[in-house]
A and B are shown apart, each in its own frame.
Chain A
Amino acid sequence: MRIQFKTSYNDDIRLFEDGWSLSVYSVLLFVAIALPFIINDFYLGEMTNVLIWAIAGLGLMLLTGQTGQASLGHAAFLALGCYSNVILIEQGVPFILAFPLAGIITGIIGTLIAFPALRLHGVYLAIATIALSILADDIIVLLEPWTGGVSGKFPVPIDIFGFEIERWTMPTRFYYLVLVVTLITTLFYRNLLRSPLGRAFAAVRDSEVSAMAMGVHIARTKATSFGISCGITGLAGALMGYYAGAFNNETFSLVISIQLLMMIVIGGLGSIHGAFFGAFVIAFLPQALSILTKSISSDNVTIPGLESGVFAAILVLFILFEPMGIYGRWLKIRTWFELFPFARKDMFRRQKSYLKTERLR
């Protein structure tokens, strides 16, 4: 077990706990940068997909994991980010402005939507966001002059001061773009967690009354969380548009919203790691399943609903046996090795808890 001696308050505020974790993450970053030279274009594309999902996951994680508000409508914000980015570029705004603007627009609209949604709790919020996700599909069709309706849109290649990035012909460049966005998002997320707002999120999640008594403005805090969450999700949506190469009203469906939520639960709610772990599962599951079905039967049969069925089954198993997700399991394994041979089984036992009615607020 590593023991750290803290000598200044800065030690607790630093981005990385200690030299060891700093070096671990440096190695990880180095691998991420070197990846295009290690794996082929197909798997690089898959890794890009993982990172895009991870950004979207971070967006939802902020709302669900940190602030405790489950949203089943985040695909609507993926769509909003995606369409606003492409429409801005079509209006002649350069990518370098249009991309962050897409995030900001999504964030602002998210905040506006948040205000009525804020009064809703638990299940009601979940249902309202489901309705939002379904409505987004219809609204995209109704706004055909801007969105292209059912026939959809194709994003033009990215142009940053004459430096061109295209997803199919230049996968390495696109990967680096996504990597940069991922790193910036993760840094912002981490900063929020170590500052007053991040703690206010946790306060709202765990006890609204005492958060209020501590001077936290509940509605404003939730709206801020919703806004930042939607902003990040919007950025992921813009990248998803490029990654897909074409999109229409059905690209960002309710199923995507649900998958996004399932993903962060599988990864581990309330942690940055969770978003990344979950993204790996969601991006590589189709690959794994197609390899598996091919090995069972020689002819190429596709079983409809198999992917979402298996994904959902994995989620059920996680909620039953490891509610803290992959990240929770990872922490336990790490602790076990650190303490070896002194780890005891009941160290990780869950506390017995009882549910009280949510009809009392």
Chain B
Amino acid sequence: MVIPQLLVSGLANGCVYGLIALGFVLIYKATEAVNFAQGDFMMIGAFITLGLTNAEYMGLPFWLSAPLAIGIMAVLGYLLDYLILRHLFGQSQTAVVILTIALGFVLRFVAGFIWGHIPQSLESPLSVGEVRLGDVVLGMADIAIIGMTLLLTLLLYLFFQRTKLGLAMQAASQNQMAAYYMGIPVRRVQGMVWGLAGAVAAVAGILYASKGAVDPNAGLLGIKAFAAAVIGGFGSLPGALVGGLIVGVIEPFASYYMPAGYSQIAPYAVLLFVLIFMPHGLFSQVRTKKV
């Protein structure tokens, strides 16, 4: 019964990657920028929840602190856009890439300064209890992660496809000037997307910290989430989830079946493979420019 067990743990990990990847894709869809600090957003979200909930810090009940943390992260995301990214309006993608990488470093330093570098676990009701299906053991946290991720992906997908604001966000990314002329408040829309991405990161953080320990370097997980987003094709929300699941499932299988040393290469090898043969991911949105 090894395979189903590996599959379950892979799916749960994959959902965390998928959630972070969802944050990348959200921001990319609406601002054409890539937030390399999304993994660090997740880490900060986890720490804020932990700081509110755990007994040695504030000791609030989990069901109060979780929404609070999500709200704080949404505000943080909005502020980050308002104070920093908005000034980059119209600059190249590469400038934003470098900027957000730098922001990630700053966030990591701040988190280490406040909460220290020793891994800590969130005292979460999600982390207790487990469900047995035959021989397969499902932790409550795993179930919560998978459920939340599916729900969130569906909601965001509907939001982008069906609502006016979602469409405005897409329009704003594809041609800033034209969107302006069509009366879309491009800057405000972008701020809202950053807020949304912050909230999604907080959810990812809470789920991640319920499952295991978190430390300031947890944000580096973002790199794997990145691989997930790319495999999924970057502009596509369901694609991000599928990419996350692929990366998540590859990992436990690789470490089970492949010799040590080769297994940690596996996700990146898959990433490079996808990029070489499908340069724009599985769910590509790239078209040829007209001159």
Contact = CB atoms under 8 A, between A and B. Distances in A.
Q: In the complex, are there CB atoms of A and B closer than 8 Å?
A: yes
Interface of A: 64, 68, 70, 72, 116, 119-120, 122-124, 126-128, 130-132, 134-135, 138, 141-142, 209, 258, 261-262, 265, 303-306, 308-313, 315-316, 319-320, 323, 352-361
Interface of B: 28, 32, 34, 84, 87-95, 97-99, 101-106, 108-110, 112-113, 117, 173-177, 180, 216, 223, 226-227, 230, 234-235, 261-262, 264-265, 268-269, 271-272, 275-276, 279-280, 285-291
Contacts of B88: 319-320
Contact of A305 (B109, B230, B286): B109
A124 B279 CA distance: 8
Contact of A128 (B90, B175, B223, B275): B275
22 contacts: A119-B276, A127-B227, A127-B230, A130-B223, A131-B227, A131-B271, A138-B265, A209-B289, A258-B101, A261-B98, A305-B216, A308-B109, A312-B106, A315-B98, A316-B84, A319-B95, A356-B175, A357-B174, A360-B286, A360-B287, A360-B288, A361-B288
Given A120-B279, A354-B176, A308 B286 contact: no
A134 B223 contact: yes
Given A124-B279, A142-B262, A352-B90, A312 B230 contact: no
Contacts of A312: 101-106, 109
A320 B84 contact: yes
A70 B262 contact: no
A352 B226 CA distance: 31
Given A135-B265, A354-B90, A262 B102 contact: yes
Nearest to B97: A126
A333 B138 CA distance: 64
Contacts of B269: 135
A304 B112 contact: yes
A319 B97 CA distance: 11
A254 B105 CA distance: 13
Nearest to B99: A319
B176 A355 contact: yes
Q: Is the interface of B mostly helix, strand, loop or mixed?
A: helix
B175 A357 contact: yes
B286 A359 contact: yes
Question: Across chains A and B, which 3 residue pairs bring their CB atoms closest together, nearest first?
Answer: A309-B109, A312-B105, A312-B102
Contact of A361 (B87, B110, B180, B286): B286
A262 B98 contact: yes
B178 to A, nearest CB: 9
A170 B223 CA distance: 42
A282 B174 CA distance: 37
B94 A311 contact: no
A306 B234 CA distance: 32
Contacts of B32: 355, 357-359
Contacts of B89: 355
A361 B32 CA distance: 14
Contact of A122 (B94, B174, B272, B275): B94
Given A262-B102, A312-B102, 16 more contacts: A119-B279, A120-B279, A123-B34, A127-B230, A128-B271, A128-B272, A131-B268, A131-B272, A305-B109, A319-B88, A319-B102, A354-B177, A355-B91, A356-B175, A357-B173, A360-B289
Contact of A124 (B223, B268, B280): B280
A119 B117 CA distance: 40
A322 to B, nearest CB: 12
Given A122-B93, A123-B97, A138 B264 contact: yes
A352 B88 CA distance: 11
Nearest to B234: A123
Contacts of B99: 315-316, 319
A122 B33 CA distance: 10
Contacts of A131: 227, 268, 271-272
Given A261-B98, A265-B98, A359 B93 contact: no
A310 B280 CA distance: 35
A358 B93 contact: yes
Interface centre among B98, B103, B279 (most CB of A within 10 A): B98
Nearest to B96: A319
B190 to A, nearest CB: 11
B93 A123 contact: yes
A315 B84 CA distance: 12
B84 A359 contact: no
A181 B31 CA distance: 43
Contacts of A138: 261, 264-265
A135 B268 contact: yes
Nearest to A209: B291
A127 B285 CA distance: 17
A359 B102 contact: no
Nearest to B117: A304
